[in-house]
Amino acid sequence: MRVPALLLVMLTAACAGSPAPLQDLAGPSEVPPTGEIKLSGAGEFSPSDTSAIVYDRKLVPRGAQASAAVESSGNKTRTSLVVEGMLPNHRYGAHLHTKPCGAKPDESGPHYQHHRGEVSPTSEVWLDVTTNGDGAGRSSARNDWALDPADLPGSLVIHSQGTKTSGPEVGTAGTRVACLTLKKTS
């Protein structure tokens, strides 16, 4: 059964407890593209629906759902993720990726980077989420840059582990376990 994105957000807000801390990731100030951009993706993860696809049923159980929203205007990009029905008390990495979800995990491309070649939370969107005892959780991030209308992210990928924040594997978060295709809503 598919749950509409708004209902999923409302249900998760009611049962997920207090929100995860907002990540305010300062970066260099830039002149943003004009206009507001909104992207979203949501659904119950299935192996055949490329709008919400699962790659690892052990880490994304049947019935698991998620919704993601990206809003970019002025010189800010705000991204949020809500998950439900995932493994309880598990930390997942989550990042924006360059391409829409595909049948194979790598088809969503690499991490979306505002500054090409820079692996950092100020250039990428990192939305790690730790689920509660019911497998629900939420996360949000704010970046000090606007999306380029000519180069938008295509998906939000959920990874098997939390994002490594230092060392030679910085920015990695294990295998890709699920994917939400993002579509422009305005």
Please state, in angstroms and rounded to a whole number, the distance separating the CA atoms of residues 141 and 106: 24
Share of the chain above pLDDT 70, in %: 81
5-184: CATH number: 2.60.40.200
The position carrying tokens 């294990």 is 174
Instruction: Report phi then psi at 132, rounded to 5.
Output: -85, -170
Of residues 153, 157, 148, the one with CA closest to residue 66: 157
pLDDT of the residue at 34: 57
pLDDT of the residue at 50: 75
Write out residues in the chain with pLDDT < 50, as ranges: 1-33
Mean per-residue pLDDT over the chain, rounded: 86
pLDDT in tens, 108-142: 999 999 999 999 999 999 999 999 999 999 999 99
| One-character DSSP codes across 68-85 | EEEEEETTEEEEEEEEES
pLDDT of the residue at 17: 44
pLDDT of the residue at 19: 44
- Provide the residue ranges of all domains of the chain, joining segments of one domain with +: 5-184
The position carrying tokens 């790690």 is 128
91-97 and 129-130 beta bridge pairing: antiparallel
